[in-house]
């Protein structure tokens, strides 16, 4: 399989993880609503990247692969339980920062590993990287 396909697959799955995490967390926010607007903005950005990755995969004649069901269930349960235990903005920001840190590591590894990918895929990978880094920074004010 080509580096372009593999990189787009990583982008699709990484942005999907961000979408799933925020979808789970938004429903758990009970008290301080100040973080909600920021999470909704991040959700929109992840959806844009996810849709673009999906479109590009289709352009290359490939189909997007969903996140491993066990990984998704594990992440969903962990996120929901953590948010139920502590739904403060500080705790939610910490969880989101941990997720963004993992996303940053994964996309950097993918960019390095699939250096033969085409420029459009690399540009989208760098957009996801910039988004993850920006999201990490934006969550700091809620700690």
Closest CA to 10 of 110, 99, 100: 110
pLDDT score of 1: 55
CATH of the domain at 65: 1.20.1260.10
Residue labelled with tokens 């990984």: 71
Closest CA to 11 of 67, 60, 59: 67
Residue 97 vs residue 68, higher pLDDT:
97
pLDDT score of 79: 75
Closest CA to 53 of 68, 33, 70, 67: 67
pLDDT score of 31: 67
Rounded to an integer, the average pLDDT of 75-87 is 74
Q: Which domain holds residue 15?
A: 3-142
CB 91 within 8 A of CB 36: no
What is the number of structural domains in the chain? 1
CB 99 within 8 A of CB 106: no
Query: Does the model's pTM come out above 0.85?
Result: yes
């Amino acid at each position: 399989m080509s580096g372009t396909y593999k990189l787009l697959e990583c982008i699709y799955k990484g942005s999907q993880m961000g979408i799933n995490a925020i979808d789970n967390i938004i429903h758990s926010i009970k008290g301080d609503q100040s973080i909600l607007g920021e999470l909704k903005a991040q959700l929109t950005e992840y959806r844009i990247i996810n849709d673009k990755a999906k479109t590009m995969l289709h352009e290359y004649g490939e189909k997007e692969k969903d996140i491993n069901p066990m990984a998704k269930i594990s992440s969903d349960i962990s996120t929901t339980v953590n948010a139920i235990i502590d739904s403060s903005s500080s705790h939610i920001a910490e969880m989101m920062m941990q997720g963004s840190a993992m996303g940053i590591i994964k996309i950097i590894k993918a960019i390095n590993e699939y250096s033969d990918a085409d420029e459009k895929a690399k540009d989208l990978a760098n957009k996801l990287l910039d988004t993850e880094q920006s999201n990490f920074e934006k969550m700091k004010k809620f700690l």
